[in-house]
Amino acid sequence: MEEKNTVKYDTVENSEEIHKQRKLRNWAFLAILLGFIALVYTVTIVKMGAN
């Protein structure tokens, strides 16, 4: 018997999974970006208050 090495792609499920992963990654990036902005803002306010 001859076996065929074929891969079946479930495009609908894969695209939904990719969409979920991308959405989670975007939320994580937003949280990191907002944290960085808050850090820069806080450091700026502290330095201005020291003068």
3 pLDDT band (50/70/90 cuts)? low
Q: Which residue has the higher pLDDT, 36 or 14?
A: 36
Q: What is the C-alpha separation between 25 and 2, in angstroms, rounded? A: 43
Is residue 1 scored above 60 in pLDDT? Answer: no
Alpha-carbon dihedral 21, 25, 26, 28, rounded to 10 degrees: 140
Q: Which tokens belong to 5?
A: 């090495």
Residue type, 12: V
pLDDT score of 25? 97
pLDDT score of 41? 97
Q: Which residue has the higher pLDDT, 36 or 6?
A: 36
Q: Which residue has the higher pLDDT, 8 or 37?
A: 37
Cα angle vertex 49, ends 48, 51, to 5°? 75
